[in-house]
Amino acid sequence: MEKGTRAAWCRAAGLVVLLLLLQWGGETVRAGLRFERGAIAAGELWRLGSAHFVHLGWNHALLNGAGVLLCCLLAPERFDRGLWRRLACLALAVGLGLWWLSPQVPDYVGLSGVLYGMFVLCLLPQGLRGDRSAWLALACIFAWMLWQWLVAPAASEEKMIGGKIISIAHVYGFCLGLAGVGLAWLGRRWRTAVRRHPQS
């Protein structure tokens, strides 16, 4: 295993361990970190980001931990030193989306919204480079996201995780992933233009 790939898997494993440690903390930790509209209105702003790292139960935490490992398998290059910055940005942005755009959501926990963004960040660049399997995987994720949002989450999945699925968080994460890929593309174009036409 190459050094970069090994480091990527260490970061992915570190994130999964963090999720499991927070889950081990039980209801006390979850209550202090979850998205809770009343608490955020009272000034507990950290909940906008921290909510994504606590879960409804062990099944929920393990499912999202498996999602982290799958992301790393698909695109280990995305688990570089910028991983924590990407996670923080996605978590905060999804939290702000829930706060501003979804007033009907009183509380929320779980990494799934952030994971949808990570899947886009992992798969879309590969698809744009001509990887058909990446397009297929992204299409499946997109279809499942739309089904949960526009039709209804699967009752069996909600039973497994122990609570209601807030599907709009997945939509926010997916859209933020698209925005992230777009901004990265614009940044590369700008840097290329600067190199080609340096100011005298």
pLDDT at 1: 62
pLDDT tens digits for 145-180?
Answer: 999 999 988 899 999 999 999 999 999 999 999 999
Q: Provide mean pLDDT across the span 62-69.
A: 97
The CA-atom distances, in angstroms, between 15 and each of 107, 137, 158 are: 23, 23, 23
pLDDT tens digits for 20-37?
Answer: 999 999 999 999 999 999
Q: Provide mean pLDDT across the span 91-97.
A: 98
Mean pLDDT rounded to a whole number for the chain: 94
pLDDT at 6 over 70: yes
3-state secondary structure 58-102: HHHHHHHHHHHHHHHHHCHHHCCCCHHHHHHHHHHHHHHHHHHHC
Do 122 and 135 contact (CB within 8 A), yes or no? no
**CA 123, 128, 129 angle in degrees (round to 5)?**
100
pLDDT at 71 over 70: yes
Q: Provide mean pLDDT across the span 189-195.
A: 80
Q: Provide mean pLDDT across the span 42-49.
A: 98
Q: What are the structure tokens assigned to 72, written together?
A: 């790393």
